[in-house]
């Protein structure tokens, strides 16, 4: 596996690249500026010297050269001394820089101009310009530039040290966070605390994202544990039916009796299948947008009531359905069956006499009983609180609100509130 660099190493590398680039650009700009200034100075000086030479030579036709302290002018290429190594194809009125043989310093500048003599003939005038003072100044400029470059390098090194210290301070909380995660127990899903030090926006976002991820894992584990609790609660009844039915089959071989027990077995298996389907849906994430609105019918509610009427055996309790208005729901039939079934089982268990009413309005499904109320737990009933917990989880899963309220005149009311857009 390729070795990964630390943030400090990457910072040092990129800072060094930028520093070298800045120094190189600085030297290039200084050298280019000095060359441009030297050429501009030579152009102006040569134009001035050429004008002086033309005036002088026109007044003295016999003279073919004009020499001053810093310049020399010659009429015609033939009169130019041999040590001036120039060619005849020089451009007119433009300063040309000529370097020393095998050297780097500028020797002189030359300009070729067109001169009109007194007799009307035209001749080429070659003017050479020497500026030792400027050359000396140019050397001084480069020396000063080198000093500035050294100072710049020192400042860059100091800046790099400061940047590395800042980088170390910024990365310290991240190193602490890494150490915490490495030594954190696999079962520890408590929120991660933001490390001490410089609290940056990026570090805060990282810790928040890790906490959200841990929370999803925690919820997933809780769903798995809830599945075990729900399964033991919901599957107990159909398993007891299956066990009892198989025991009864050993005592009779009458066809009618066997058919009746077969139907009980089939019903128990269907109930178990519905329970498992719903419980699995509670413990896994689903795309609820794929669910379609459907109409809740009275027949669907009657089927749920019929499957739990045996709990009212020998009780003077009336159960009725009041479907005042049709309602659309966005929940699978099996999930609704378990939701309403759990609330009915609790209502039947808490009511010794009176009535249990399933009331359906456009925005609410209510199970109203005349029992002992929500503050007391019915005797001899297993899984009472777990049944309500299952109902709450199903409502939460499908975006419904669940409330358990006491009635003013006794009993309680379990309400499932349907959102208008559902």
Please, what is the angle between helix 236-249 and helix 255-282, to 10°?
160
C-alpha distances out from residue 182 to 33, 174, 334, Å: 58, 12, 44
| Spatial distance between the Cα atoms of 345 and 308, rounded to a whole number of angstroms | 7
pLDDT of residue 340: 92
pLDDT of residue 380: 47
DSSP 182-204: HTS-TT--SPPPPPSS---HHHH
pLDDT of residue 365: 92
| Spatial distance between the Cα atoms of 281 and 278, rounded to a whole number of angstroms | 5
* Residue whose entry in the numeric block shows the structure tokens 């019915």: 378
* Residue whose entry in the numeric block shows the structure tokens 């090194």: 157
CB atoms within 10 A of CB 303: 14
- Closest to 129 (Cα-Cα) out of 44, 209, 27, 191: 44
| Spatial distance between the Cα atoms of 49 and 367, rounded to a whole number of angstroms | 114
* Residue whose entry in the numeric block shows the structure tokens 């709990």: 311
- Closest to 417 (Cα-Cα) out of 327, 337, 348: 327
pLDDT of residue 383: 43
In the DSSP assignment, the letter for residue 153 is H
| Spatial distance between the Cα atoms of 50 and 110, rounded to a whole number of angstroms | 10
| Spatial distance between the Cα atoms of 189 and 186, rounded to a whole number of angstroms | 8
Instruction: For strands 364-369 and 412-417, give the pairing.
Output: antiparallel
| Spatial distance between the Cα atoms of 77 and 126, rounded to a whole number of angstroms | 7
C-alpha distances out from residue 379 to 74, 350, 355, 382, 383, Å: 130, 9, 19, 9, 11
Domain boundaries, the chain: 7-154, 203-282, 290-417
Half-sphere exposure of 265 (CA within 13 A, CB side): 14
pLDDT of residue 136: 63
Find out whether 398 and 416 touch, Cβ atoms under 8 Å. no
Find out whether 351 and 315 touch, Cβ atoms under 8 Å. yes
* Residue whose entry in the numeric block shows the structure tokens 């000063």: 144
pLDDT by 10s per residue, the chain, length 422 = 567 677 777 777 888 888 888 878 877 777 777 778 778 888 888 888 888 888 888 877 777 888 888 888 888 888 888 888 787 788 999 988 887 665 555 568 889 898 887 777 888 889 998 877 666 666 677 777 778 778 878 888 888 888 888 878 877 888 888 888 888 877 777 887 777 776 778 778 888 888 888 888 887 777 677 667 666 766 777 778 788 888 877 777 788 888 888 887 887 787 777 777 767 777 666 677 778 889 999 999 999 998 888 888 888 999 999 987 778 899 888 889 889 988 998 898 888 899 999 999 988 999 999 988 877 655 544 444 667 888 888 888 888 999 999 888 888 999 999 865 54
pLDDT of residue 133: 67
What CATH number belongs to 203-282?
1.10.287
Please name the residue ranges forming H helices in 193-350: 201-234, 236-249, 255-282, 298-306, 333-350
* Residue whose entry in the numeric block shows the structure tokens 């000095």: 34
Find out whether 411 and 405 touch, Cβ atoms under 8 Å. no
CB atoms within 10 A of CB 421: 7
Q: Which architecture does CATH list for 290-417?
A: 2-Layer Sandwich (3.30)
């Amino acid at each position: 596996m390729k070795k990964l660099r630390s943030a400090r190493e990457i910072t040092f590398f990129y800072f060094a690249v930028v520093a070298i680039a800045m120094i190189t650009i600085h030297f290039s700009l200084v050298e280019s500026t000095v060359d441009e200034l030297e050429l501009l100075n030579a152009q102006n000086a040569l134009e001035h010297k050429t004008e002086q030479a033309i005036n002088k030579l026109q007044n003295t036709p016999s003279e073919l050269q004009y020499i001053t302290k810093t310049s020399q002018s010659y009429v015609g290429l033939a009169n130019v001394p041999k040590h001036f190594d120039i060619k005849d194809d020089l451009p007119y009125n433009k300063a040309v820089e000529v370097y020393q043989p095998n050297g780097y310093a500028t020797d002189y500048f030359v300009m070729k101009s067109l001169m009109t003599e007194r007799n009307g003939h035209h001749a080429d005038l070659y003017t050479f310009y020497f500026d030792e003072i400027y050359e000396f100044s140019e050397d001084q400029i480069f020396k000063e530039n080198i000093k500035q470059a050294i100072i710049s390098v020192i400042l860059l090194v100091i800046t790099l040290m400061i940047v590395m210290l800042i980088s170390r301070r910024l990365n310290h909380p991240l190193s602490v966070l890494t150490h915490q995660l490495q030594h954190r127990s696999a079962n520890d899903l408590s929120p991660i605390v933001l490390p001490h030090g410089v609290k940056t926006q990026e570090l805060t976002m990282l810790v928040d994202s890790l906490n959200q991820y841990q929370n999803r894992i925690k919820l997933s584990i809780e769903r798995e544990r809830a599945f075990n609790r729900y399964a033991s609660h919901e599957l107990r009844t159909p398993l007891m039916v299956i066990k009892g039915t198989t025991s009864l089959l050993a005592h009779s071989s009458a066809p009618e009796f066997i058919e009746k027990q077969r139907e009980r077995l089939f019903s128990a298996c269907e109930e178990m299948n519905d329970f498992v389907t719903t419980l699995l849906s509670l413990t896994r994430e689903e795309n609820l947008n794929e669910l379609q609105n459907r109409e809740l019918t009275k027949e669907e509610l009657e089927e749920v009531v019929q499957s739990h009427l045996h709990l009212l055996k020998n009780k003077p309790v009336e159960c009725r359905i009041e479907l005042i208005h049709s309602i659309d729901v966005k929940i699978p039939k099996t999930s609704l069956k378990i939701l309403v079934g759990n609330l009915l089982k609790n209502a039947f268990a808490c009511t010794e006499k009176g009535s249990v009413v399933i009331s359906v309005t456009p925005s609410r499904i209510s199970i109203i009983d005349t029992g002992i109320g929500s503050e007391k737990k019915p005797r001899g009933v297993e899984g009472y609180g777990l049944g309500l917990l299952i109902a709450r989880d199903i409502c939460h899963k499908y975006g419904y609100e669940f409330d358990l309220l006491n009635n003013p005149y006794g009993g309680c009311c379990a309400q499932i509130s349907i959102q208008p857009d559902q």
